[in-house]
Amino acid sequence: MQPGPESGSAQVQDPSVEPQLEAGRSKALLWVLVGLVVVVGVGFAAISMVGGSVLYYKTPTEIVTSQSADPVRLAGQLVAGSVADNAGATTFKITDGKNTVAVVYHGGATTALTTASKPGTQMVAEGSLQPDGTFAATNLLAKCPSKFQTASTPANAAAQS
């Protein structure tokens, strides 16, 4: 008769089971480490790709006070009557109501300026501030109004009443 657990004797465990458990833990730990390395690598790659392409909007007041030559997006209102097309360079002014910045874009008047050159149009110029205080733009954008309304005509007025 073999001694059982109820007889008070200690059970002998198979010595080959412990190395198998240790090998299983090592494989699991290896996969966790590989997964962690992949996640960190993908995260680092994503951050390094996006980091150079992020440009923040700054107002004319922020541009004037910072005097930084770093690439930024200058956002503000187009000053009435300031658009001029001179021999391959388009110049205009952007304001935020406090300060005004002269912008120079090398190239002809763009669609953004020709279609949105009404006073008060919201403009965005991507570029950098030059030592002489002008903003050298490499790209121009006109912000579209968020709400379009139809013109008021006698036919529209009659239809609405």
pLDDT band for position 149 (cuts 50, 70, 90): very low
pLDDT reported for residue 153: 43
pTM exceeds cut of 0.75 = no
* Domain range 57-142, CATH class: mainly beta
Higher-confidence residue of 134 and 6: namely 134
pLDDT band for position 80 (cuts 50, 70, 90): confident
SS (H, E, C) the chain: CCCCHHHCCCCCCCCCHHHHHHHHHHHHHHHHHHHHHHHHHHHHHHHHHHHCCCCCEECHHHHHHHCCCCCEEEEEEECCCCCEEECCEEEEEEECCCCEEEEEEECCCCHHHHHCCCCCCEEEEEEEECCCCCEEEEEEEECCCCCCCCCCCHHHHHHHC
- Residue ranges per domain, the chain? 17-51, 57-142
